[in-house]
Amino acid sequence: MSTSAGLLDFFILEAGDYIEQLDGLVARAGGGTPDAEVFTRNARSLRGTATMAKLGGIAEISTALERVGRALRDGSLKWDPALQGAAVAAIDDLKLLVRAVRNWSETEDRRVSTRLSDLARFVGGS
């Protein structure tokens, strides 16, 4: 990986905060729709920090979550149990992926592909 150790340290801290914000939004919403504006903002921020750290897989999942947030905000997507499950799985996997950035392998690539496929059912692909 060509990303410096210092940048990875910064990324891990910053990404962890954005992911926890996303996790908290979904948890606080219960079965209801999370705040779409805040959800979108945190997903976009996570995408930005992942892009700066050259962590494409994390940036791609973040982009898909950002699309979910925008679609919720504009009313073209409704929050339901299936979408909630896909979002929670993506957020949970993001936690694992952030922990694995120093030792990225095919396992992480497969995890990214799975989450992108799951989210694409709701918001399409890149």
Cβ–Cβ under 8 Å, residues 65 and 34:
no
**Angle 74-57-81 from CA coordinates, rounded to 5°:** 45
HSE value, Cβ hemisphere, 13 Å, CA-based, for 74: 8
pTM metric for this prediction: 0.93
Report the pLDDT value the prediction gives residue 124, as an integer from 0 to 100. 81
Q: What is the DSSP letter of 28?
A: H
Distance in angstroms between the alpha carbons of the first and the last residue of the chain: 24
Q: What is the DSSP letter of 77?
A: S
Report the pLDDT value the prediction gives residue 125, as an integer from 0 to 100. 64
Q: From first to last of its 126 residues, what are the pLDDT tens digits of the chain? A: 456 888 899 999 999 999 999 999 999 998 899 999 999 999 999 999 999 999 999 999 999 999 999 999 999 999 999 999 999 999 999 999 999 999 999 999 999 999 999 999 999 865
- Distance CA(58)–CA(77), nearest Å, equals 23
SS3 of the chain: helix, strand, coil, percent, to 5:
80, 0, 20
User: Which of 109, 111, 89, 93 has the alpha carbon at shortest distance from 26?
Assistant: 89
- Distance CA(83)–CA(89), nearest Å, equals 10
